Chains A and B, each alone.
Chain A
């Protein structure tokens, strides 16, 4: 089984649009939406949820006020400033390390596990999909990404499927690392803007750090020809392969408003370009 992770460094480059189009072109692929902070894939694929799994992040400290003697040891020991002056815990800051529980001389602090989100096994018109929703402001999105990927692998085994297409989160941090770990190839969507080039550099570094071959698609490529050349040079330098270019086009926005993939929405140049890119990446990455 192969896993293709679609990432972008920067958000808004058209990652989900292209990942969704790939899903509609792939035969028997499992879809994994790993952008658990702000997932959008479901807006296009409209999954029907078949199974729900609760997601528990790390526990959070909780102080029992009737036991607390306000000795301040917990506040002094917490490296994250999570305990307020009135000895309540600011949940957003608590990392769940358990130091306060350990130092409390009267056992007034307990670590409590709370539900931090949900992961789903769903069906879509293109096949099975694993996705998730992280609770607002919750931590450990990397952990939830790992859970979605484990679900996708299990679903792929059950479905006898040999490909997982992962829609990744933006950035280069925690959840992107969890998306890339163990993937067979990274498909990077970029755009010829100076911030696009900058973020491409960082995300290619992450891919090469984890030794994952990277394939690059330049979206909105007619917006700035000089920047396209800079992207091609950067890819050359980083050992990444440019597998295609897409024009600045209204098709993705129109398709999105209709709730369709671009391939379903229109059979125009834009969608035939996407088909070509899909065939190239399949061959180049051996999917």
Chain B
């Protein structure tokens, strides 16, 4: 069973939930899919081992064979190639690696070479296999890295810490997951982000539940929204300075407050009933 933990917005406690949930389980794989800002291991402190580079294929132009016919630059939808009378310019950071330029070149002047856009790392503990991807600084192609990262997921229990937003990186994370846990803060910002993210999970037809984080009473609109959408509230985590301080020091709160492990396990069981 694959569970993604998402939130629309950053800073709602997504990574906290994913890490604490994973630490409450036995034999689980945890994936940090927030490749722009992988944070889960800041709380786990596992010694990471590099598994592989995340690769896309980019063109290399053989200037001797190139006749500057412009076919490649005309074909490229991403403006990664520009043709000058005497030279072809290539902008690697714009290239999506589709291979179209090589296909259309009438002179066979293009070969493809591998370009690393980031790395995939992993670590193992007694109870958990942990994987993370890190996009190199200045790179914009998060989705291929997330897909490559996810190829390491087995059929057993998997938790995916999703990136923020509702765009391509989130969709790549949510592909083929069985359940999505949305973390929401009880504020107007939190409600707005929750609305957007539930639209995504609805469109992808992924069963969804909500964790209310930093609950302090007062703002009830999250509950009202969930009720109206028939989305279950799986767990409530109070606004608690102790949790905030543990978080600031990088300590998963289930380690200092073990009573929460049981709550996370129960939540996992509850999700399993829905999925299976």
Residues of A within 8 A of B (CB): 9-13, 16, 37-38, 40, 43, 58-59, 77, 79-80, 92-93, 95-99, 102-103, 134, 136-139, 141-142, 169-177, 191-195, 198-199, 202, 205-206, 209, 223-224, 227, 248, 253, 256-257, 259
CB<8 Å pairs between A and B, sample of 10? A79-B98, A102-B104, A137-B167, A137-B168, A170-B11, A170-B37, A171-B165, A173-B139, A194-B42, A223-B245
Distance in Å from the Cβ of B118 to the closest Cβ of chain A?
11
> Closest 3 CB pairs between A and B?
A12-B11, A11-B10, A97-B98
- Which residue of A13, A134, A192 contacts B167 across the interface (Cβ within 8 Å)? A134
Within the assembled complex, what's the spacing in Å between the Cα atoms of A134 and B169? 14
Whether A10 pairs with B11 at a CB distance below 8 angstroms is yes
Distance in Å from the Cβ of B219 to the closest Cβ of chain A?
6
A193 — nearest CB in chain B belongs to which residue?
Answer: B248
A258 — nearest CB in chain B belongs to which residue?
Answer: B188
A-B contact count (CB 8 A): 170
Whether A79 pairs with B97 at a CB distance below 8 angstroms is yes
For window 71-104 of B, CB contacts with A under 8 Å fall at 75, 77-78, 96-100, 103-104
Whether B37 pairs with A199 at a CB distance below 8 angstroms is yes
Interface presence of B69 (CB below 8 A): no
Give the chain B neighbours of A256 by CB distance below 8 A: 187-189
Give the chain B neighbours of A169 by CB distance below 8 A: 165
- Which residue of A13, A80, A209 contacts B137 across the interface (Cβ within 8 Å)? A209
Whether B42 pairs with A43 at a CB distance below 8 angstroms is no
Interface of chain A, helix or strand or loop or mixed?
loop
Tell whether A37 pairs with B165 under 8 Å between CB atoms, given A43-B189, A198-B42, A257-B219.
yes
Interface presence of B209 (CB below 8 A): no
Give the chain A neighbours of B43 by CB distance below 8 A: 194-195
Whether A136 pairs with B98 at a CB distance below 8 angstroms is no
Interface presence of B122 (CB below 8 A): no
Whether B96 pairs with A95 at a CB distance below 8 angstroms is yes
Whether A43 pairs with B188 at a CB distance below 8 angstroms is yes
B191 — nearest CB in chain A belongs to which residue?
Answer: A43
Q: What per-residue 1/0 map shows which CB atoms of B199-226 lie under 8 Å from chain A?
A: 1100110000000000000110000000
